Amino acid sequence: MLSPEIRVFIQAIKCELMNESTTEVNSVNYVALQQKLWFHSIRPVLHQFFERNTNYDVPITIKEELATYRQTQTFVSLKYSHEINRLLTIFREKNLQVIPYKGVLFLQELYGNTQLRELGDMDFLFHPNSAAEGMKTLLQEGYKFNTIDKSFEENPADSLIDIALNASGQYEISFVNNDFLHIDFHWGLYYGYLPFSIDFDTFFNEEKPTPETLLWMLLLHHGGKENWVRMKHFADLIAFLNRFQSELDWGEIFKTAKEYRLHKQLIVGFRLLGKHFDYPISESIGTELLRYPSTEKIELLIEKYWDKSEHWSTLFPRLRMERIFVKIQNESFSKWGYFSGFYKTYTKPNPLEQPRLFNFPENYPTLNFLSKVLTYLVRKF
């Protein structure tokens, strides 16, 4: 049984993104609601829901907090939208292969700029061949690297770019400018030890991302990397389906999802969508869901994570997240291959990560890995 707070989040998403009306009133603990809301990242949706639904006796402090957040969010999203367009013009004048990624792109393409999506930064996805020049351009435009280990930023600019692109296991880095605009700069989609197999070269052949590309971005991040553990994931999925469900060949989508090793994640996402949101999926999607064995145990783990609402940056939520991650993988998934790849990635210190307690020469891979684990445990406790 889901907590009243999670039921309210689901109710809000259904009302604001699916245009459903409701008279149901859940007995809400508003202190718990505030704690869970930060994790689930649907404050604009909940604000609009509470404004329209007077059945809930929401404390004035929470109403004001949500209203202030939404006003600020509207201003921030406009700034980011303008800056993305400005930077894209510069990148394309230099013939760089780059597309906007997630965040502002989802706000524009899925939500139609209705300001119902939380936004904290802007993302760019660069083709690896354009990544170095892309970083150089951002530095010229007044951005600077924004890393955990600030000693990294003391290196000369050209060295910073080379170090970042060659750091073990790295595929993204952050930038910030003097106006505190944040950029997540990606030249890959995921860590090499993750089991996915997406060919994203085709993303750069499009003048603007197609519905298929938007779906792969959404599915990889929300279902593949974050295992559907946030309400925000379902808000995005519903917003996507509202606009593009009828445009896609779902038989081909499920077939490609198998090739990308995201098939089970797609199945679980749609089953949770049907179970809790009663979303009207197409007959072709329903046919695909009937072909797949039960995923009820995985769904239960995800539902428990919804109620816990604890970010995986701390130890025990991280372990719960890993448990879901392993269970939601496709049939070809190898636990040994996954953990072996994880081990190899962290046998070499990464100059962009949080400094380890101890660094050893590269010919001591096991000691370097154990140092990484020890550092993680010390920092998390």
Tell me the per-residue pLDDT of 10-69, one tens digit each, with 9 for 90 and over: 999 999 999 988 878 888 999 999 999 999 999 999 999 999 988 899 999 999 999 999
CATH class of 72-186: alpha beta
Using DSSP bridges, classify how beta strands 182-186 and 122-126 pair: parallel, antiparallel or unpaired.
Answer: parallel
Q: How far apart are CA 37 and CA 147, in angstroms?
A: 27
Mean pLDDT of 126-137: 96
| Residue position matching structure tokens 């780059």 | 98
Q: How far apart are CA 263 and CA 258, in angstroms?
A: 5
E-strand ranges in the chain read 98-100, 122-126, 144-145, 172-176, 182-186
Provide the pLDDT for residue 357: 86
Mean pLDDT of 167-185: 91
- The CB-based long-range contact list for 150-159 (8 Å cut-off, 24+ gap) reads 151/355, 152/351, 152/352
Which pLDDT band holds residue 318 (cuts at 50, 70, 90)? very high
Which pLDDT band holds residue 336 (cuts at 50, 70, 90)? very high
Domain boundaries, the chain: 72-186, 309-380
Token output for 320: 């719960």
Which pLDDT band holds residue 1 (cuts at 50, 70, 90)? confident
Contact (CB, 8 A) for 172 and 131 = no
Provide the pLDDT for residue 231: 98
Mean pLDDT of 314-319: 91
C-beta atoms surrounding 250 within 10 Å:
19
Query: Is the pLDDT at 102 greater than 80, yes or no?
Result: yes
| Residue position matching structure tokens 């995201």 | 262
Contact (CB, 8 A) for 227 and 321 = yes
Provide the pLDDT for residue 334: 92
Q: How far apart are CA 126 and CA 336, in angstroms?
A: 31
In the predicted model, what is the mean pLDDT of the chain? 92
- Alpha-carbon distances of 230 from 126, 134, 167, 286, rounded to whole Å: 27, 31, 30, 23
The pLDDT tens digits for 180-238 are 999 999 999 998 899 999 988 888 887 788 999 999 999 999 999 999 999 999 999 99
- In degrees, rounded to 5, the angle at the alpha carbon of residue 11 between the alpha carbons of residues 7 and 15 is 175
Buried b (16+ CB within 10 A) or exposed e, 18-30: eeeeeeeebebeb
Provide the pLDDT for residue 21: 84
Provide the pLDDT for residue 115: 86
% residues pLDDT > 70 (the chain): 98
